[in-house]
Amino acid sequence: MTWYQYIALAVVVSNLPGCQSGLQVATGDGQFKELLAGTLVLHQDIRIPPRQSHAVFQGGTFSYGSGEYAPHCELEVRKVQETAQTVHAGVFEITSIKGITHYVRRPHRIKLAAAGDFQLLADDSGEWIMQAYHFGLYSEDQPNVTRLICGGAYNFPFYARYPDEQEIRQALGDAATLSLP
């Protein structure tokens, strides 16, 4: 190797510690930490309705659907069944974490005023997104439970963001605890 190659190798190696793998989550106090695998502890049995694959937690309560203006979490099962399913209280290992963007269409357009071809403050994009963490789950006792999806509020692409740690805890309430190391 020439000394140019040694210098190039030294520059590359010295910059490697600055690279980070994985996702970052806001802690709620303006700080960030790396999102690593942990556990989800479900403190109560959760009923999944017939012909559905998930149950929703929002604002600390369990429901079958979520409002689009606040962060929420969804517990998802592998199989959709014709009868109700019960996910029993227990501990689930988090096996993977992915950051996913969900694209949704807004139900209506917003237009402040219009006359002919002139429009004042019209929103024609019609597209909202939700930034969400997908936590892959595993439990030997309940292999049908596949993931916990925790997403921020639906919003325009510029304003959408992932939920922070505190918002995830608020969405889950007393029903579950997400432990991230």
Digit-coded pLDDT (tens) for 69-85: 789 999 999 999 999 99
User: What pLDDT is stored for residue 19 in this prediction?
Assistant: 36
Ranges of H-type helices in 43-157: none
pLDDT at residue 143 above 80?
Answer: yes
Token duo for residue 176: 């579950």
Distance CA 117, CA 124 (A): 14
Local confidence band at 122 (pLDDT 50, 70, 90 cut-offs) = low
User: What pLDDT is stored for residue 156 in this prediction?
Assistant: 84
Q: Is 123 exposed, middle or buried (0-12, 13-18, 19+ CB in 10 A)?
A: middle
pLDDT at residue 67 above 90?
Answer: no
- pTM for the model: 0.73
